[in-house]
C-alpha cells in the first residue's frame, strides 16, 4: 500500500544537468519516470538512481510517441491505473559548442516534443511545468537592467540559433494554448543561467571548464572579452523553484527563476582560481554562438507568489562544484573527451 500513496512523476530530459538534480530531489517523496535520449544528457548523471525502487529510466526521444502503459519496466508503477500526476518537461538539446549539430533536434523538441508532452498531460490530466528559458526575452538591452515576466521579448527568429530562441517562444505558446483549450494545469518556468555539479564539460559553459582547468593549472578560456557579464544561479535553487511552481495555482503565468546579481565572468574565473589555489591564467577567445549576453531576471513575482529566492551564495555554490569535480575528475575528464568527439 505504501507505493500506492506515491504519485508518478515524469521528468523529460531527466538525465541532463538540471533534470538529474530534479530527479534526485523528487525521488525522496514520489516515483520518478526519467526519460532521456542522451543527446546532451549522460547516464553518469543518474547512475546512482538506477537501482532505486521508485526510479525508472526510459531511453527515448520525446519527439517520438511513447505509451507508458505498455512498457514492462513501468509495471510496478501501475501507470494504467494511477496515471501520471506531474510532468516536468526539460527535454531540449543544449550545447554551446555543438549547437549546429543539434539544430534539427532542437526544433523538433520545441515543437513535436512539446506537443507530445502536452498530449500526455491531457490524457492523464497531469500538471505540467515547462522549462523555458530567458532567451525568450532576447539579448541584453542597454536601457533595461532586468526582465519582468510581462516584458515583450525581441527575438530574431532567422538567426543561426533561432531554433532554440524562437523555439522556446513557440513552446510557451503551445503550453498556454493547451491550457486554454484543455483546462490543463500547465505552467512556464523561464530559467536563467544555472551552474553546479553535472554541468557539461568542454562545451563552452565556462564555469565547469574553469573549475577542471584550474585544478589542472591549465589556461581558463573566456569566450568573449573582459566586459562579458551574466547571472549565475545554483542548480539546487532552480530545482526548488521548479517544485514550488508545480505546486502553485494553475493561472500563475510565466515565472522567472534565476539570480538577479550581475557577475563579470572574469571575476568568477578569478574567484575559482583563488579557491582552487591554481596557477592558471586566463585567455580570451571569440564568443560562441550560444553564449550571448543575456539580461537579468526580475524575480519579484517568484518571491511574492512562490516564496522563492535563491539561497545558495556564489562562493558556496562554486565550492560545491569544485568538491564534486575533485571527487570525480578522472571520470569527468574521460566523459568530456568522449563528448567532444
Q: What is the set of active-site residues?
A: 164
Q: Which residues of 64-101 are buried (b: 16+ CB within 10 A; e: fewer)?
A: eebebeeeeebeebebeeebbbbbbbbbbbbbbbbbee
Classify the C-alpha dihedral 131-136-140-141 as positive or negative.
negative
* Residue 307 φ/ψ, nearest 5 degrees: 65, 30
Q: In which residue are the cell numbers 548523471 written?
A: 45
Q: What's the full length of the chain, in residues?
A: 341
- Give the residues across from 338 on adjacent strands: none
State whether residue 208 is helix, strand or coil. helix
Question: Distance between CA atoms of 69 and 58, rounded to whole angstroms?
Answer: 13
Closest C-alpha among 14, 1, 8 to residue 79: 8
217: region left, alpha or beta (phi > 0 left; psi from -120 to 50 alpha): left
For CA atoms 264, 262, 18, 175, give the dihedral sign.
Answer: negative
Residue carrying C-alpha cell 538577479: 260
Nearest CA among 202, 201, 205 for reference residue 193: 205
187 has which bridge partners?
Answer: 129
Cα–Cα distance between 254 and 179 in angstroms, integer? 13
Amino acid at each position: 500500500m505504501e507505493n500506492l500513496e506515491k504519485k508518478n512523476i515524469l521528468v523529460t530530459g531527466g538525465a541532463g544537468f538540471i533534470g538529474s538534480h530534479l530527479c534526485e530531489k523528487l525521488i525522496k517523496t514520489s516515483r520518478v519516470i526519467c526519460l532521456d535520449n542522451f543527446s546532451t544528457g549522460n547516464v553518469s548523471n543518474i547512475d546512482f538512481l538506477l537501482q532505486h525502487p521508485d526510479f525508472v529510466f526510459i531511453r527515448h526521444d520525446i519527439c517520438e510517441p511513447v505509451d507508458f502503459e505498455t512498457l514492462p519496466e513501468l509495471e510496478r508503477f501501475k501507470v494504467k491505473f494511477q496515471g501520471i500526476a506531474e510532468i516536468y518537461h526539460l527535454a531540449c538539446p543544449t550545447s554551446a559548442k555543438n549547437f549546429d549539430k543539434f539544430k534539427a533536434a532542437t526544433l523538433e523538441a520545441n515543437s513535436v516534443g512539446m506537443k507530445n508532452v502536452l498530449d500526455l498531460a491531457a490524457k492523464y490530466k497531469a500538471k505540467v511545468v515547462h522549462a523555458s528559458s530567458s532567451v525568450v526575452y532576447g539579448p541584453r538591452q542597454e536601457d533595461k537592467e532586468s526582465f519582468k515576466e510581462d516584458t515583450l521579448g525581441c527575438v530574431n527568429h532567422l538567426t543561426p540559433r533561432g531554433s532554440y530562441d524562437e523555439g522556446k517562444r513557440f513552446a510557451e505558446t503551445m503550453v498556454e494554448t493547451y491550457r486554454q483549450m484543455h483546462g490543463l494545469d500547465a505552467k512556464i518556468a523561464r530559467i536563467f543561467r544555472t551552474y553546479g555539479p553535472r554541468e557539461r564539460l568542454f562545451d563552452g559553459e565556462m564555469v565547469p571548464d574553469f573549475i577542471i582547468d584550474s585544478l589542472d593549472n591549465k589556461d581558463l578560456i573566456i569566450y568573449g572579452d573582459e566586459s562579458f557579464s551574466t547571472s549565475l544561479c545554483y542548480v539546487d535553487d532552480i530545482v526548488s523553484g521548479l517544485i514550488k511552481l508545480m505546486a502553485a495555482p494553475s493561472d500563475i503565468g510565466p515565472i522567472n527563476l534565476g539570480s538577479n546579481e550581475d557577475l563579470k565572468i572574469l571575476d568568477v574565473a578569478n574567484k575559482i582560481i583563488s579557491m582552487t589555489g591554481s596557477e592558471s591564467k586566463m585567455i580570451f577567445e571569440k564568443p560562441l554562438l550560444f553564449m550571448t549576453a543575456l539580461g537579468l531576471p526580475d524575480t519579484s513575482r517568484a518571491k511574492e507568489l512562490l516564496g522563492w529566492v535563491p539561497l545558495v551564495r556564489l562562493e558556496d555554490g562554486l565550492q560545491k562544484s569544485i568538491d564534486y569535480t575533485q571527487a570525480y575528475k578522472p571520470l569527468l575528464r574521460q566523459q568530456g573527451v568522449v563528448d567532444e568527439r
